[in-house]
Structure 1
Amino acid sequence: MTEPGLRERKKAKTRRLIQDVALRLFVEQGYDATTVEQIAAKAEVSPSTFFRYYPTKEDVVLEDEYDPTLIAEIEKVPPEVGVVGAFRAAVRVGFASFYDRDRELLLERMRLAFTTPALRNRILAANHEIGHTFGGAIARRLGIDEDDPRLRVAAGALMGALTAVLEQWLADDGKSDLPAMMDEALALLEAGFKIEH
């Protein structure tokens, strides 16, 4: 894999700066009380630059660079591995690449997303889109049609499992090991929900 060029690194740095500033302002002032203009001013960018990186204020909380990593990992898993097993392997490798570095950022973003009504509604819509994206990666891996209804069911189950784990992680104030919790939830899904007493 080639290293990103200077332009890509500068764009990633600006994107991260805008998100860091926005999250800090949301914590200090509240999500609803914080405007895009305030975020742009604190980040020393124009509002139009903000919107080049994040189409809406909600996106500055909900968007991240993790999905492409997970999709690339799903596509690497051999086709003989089942759908949940492939997703589980991708999550394990993907989280290893960013969890330690971004744990506090992820916790703050998820805390805002799950406790702010406007963002919580967006999560539901975003889960559908993300599930469709993951479903497409699974379809390519298996060589099946992306419109196969089984993929929608699988994607819904996977996204539901991850959402439940994130809610549990937030309830614990992020003290638990999120990657291990995700792996346990996906193992349960992979085993067909066989719950032992």
Structure 2
Amino acid sequence: MTPDQNTSGGLREQRKARTRRAIQDHALRLFLSKGYDATTVEEIATAAGVSHMTFFRYFPTKEAVVEDDDYDPLIAELVRDRPADESPLTALHAALRTGLDAVLTTDREAVYARTRLVVTNPALRARQWRNTATTQSLLAQALADRERQPVDLRLRVIAAAATAALITALTAWVDGDGADDLRTLVDEAFAALGTGR
């Protein structure tokens, strides 16, 4: 590949990322001002300055605008990078903390808005089960990769517990109108897992 081709591909990917982000940003703004159910794909596309078809190239459904993010792969990679002598639960907690530090620094308002939409909208909340199962599988695989072994029941249970702790912390964050620090809520949720109290 020539340098020109490499630069061209990089610029194209940057444009795609900007378009995707613009669609999500405008969708969240409209969802929060008009309501999720009252907002149409056409309105989102118009606000983002793209066509209806372009919207669907980036997001297969309206729900996907809220649900899709790059956080799970980030957390999975952070889990794989944790020290081998850490317990799986400690590795998950530390990876989540590191990921939250990075994400909340740049995207706190968007993360809160998306979480609030999922928690308060019955249709989105019902879909959360499928998304949670995908996250659990991804985290269990990251733990298995870290231990250089196949995914087993123990790792699935640990990933499921960690995912439940995270979802409970996110729900508490929304219940408190975002006033609490999400990282502190995650710490408290993982502490409850560790002590069982």
Q: 2:159 aligns with which of 155, 172, 185?
A: 155
The answer as to whether partners of 2:116 and 2:174 remain within 8 angstroms in 1 is: yes
The number of residues matched between the two structures is: 189
Q: Select the structure that is richer in helix.
A: 2
Matched, 1:77 2:82: yes
* Structure 1 residue 130: Cα displacement: 0.8
For residue 78 of structure 1, give the secondary structure of its aligned residue in structure 2: coil
**1:110: which partner in 2?**
115
Matched, 1:123 2:137: no
* Structure 1 residue 16: Cα displacement: 0.9
* Structure 1 residue 165: Cα displacement: 0.6
Q: 1:180 aligns with which of 170, 184, 188?
A: 184
**1:144: which partner in 2?**
149
Deviations along 1:53-98, whole A, 9 cap, x unmatched?
Answer: 1121111011112112111110001222111100011011111112
Matched, 1:168 2:151: no
Under a length normalisation based on structure 1, what TM-score does the superposition of the two structures give? 0.90
Q: CA RMSD in A?
A: 1.5
* Structure 1 residue 178: Cα displacement: 0.4
Q: 1:21 aligns with which of 8, 26, 29?
A: 26
* Structure 1 residue 106: Cα displacement: 1.0
Q: Which 4+ stretches in 1 moved above 3 angstroms?
A: none
For residues 169 and 47 of structure 1, what CA distance do their matches in structure 2 show?
Answer: 34
The answer as to whether partners of 2:165 and 2:189 remain within 8 angstroms in 1 is: yes
Amino acid at match of 1:168: A
For residues 87 and 184 of structure 1, what CA distance do their matches in structure 2 show?
Answer: 14
For residue 74 of structure 1, give the secondary structure of its aligned residue in structure 2: helix
* Structure 1 residue 113: Cα displacement: 0.7
For residues 33 and 101 of structure 2, what CA distance do their matches in structure 1 show?
Answer: 30
Q: 1:92 aligns with which of 90, 97, 114?
A: 97
Amino acid at match of 1:165: A
The answer as to whether partners of 2:132 and 2:163 remain within 8 angstroms in 1 is: yes
For residues 187 and 10 of structure 1, what CA distance do their matches in structure 2 show?
Answer: 42
Structure 1 unaligned segments of length 5 or more: list them.
none
Under a length normalisation based on structure 2, what TM-score does the superposition of the two structures give? 0.90
Deviations along 1:110-149, whole A, 9 cap, x unmatched?
Answer: 1111111110011111001111111111111111212x12
For residues 20 and 172 of structure 2, what CA distance do their matches in structure 1 show?
Answer: 29
For residues 114 and 20 of structure 1, what CA distance do their matches in structure 2 show?
Answer: 18
The answer as to whether partners of 2:93 and 2:162 remain within 8 angstroms in 1 is: no
For residues 92 and 117 of structure 1, what CA distance do their matches in structure 2 show?
Answer: 28
**2:5: which partner in 1?**
none
Percent of pairs with identical residues:
46
* Structure 1 residue 50: Cα displacement: 1.2
For residues 113 and 149 of structure 2, what CA distance do their matches in structure 1 show?
Answer: 38
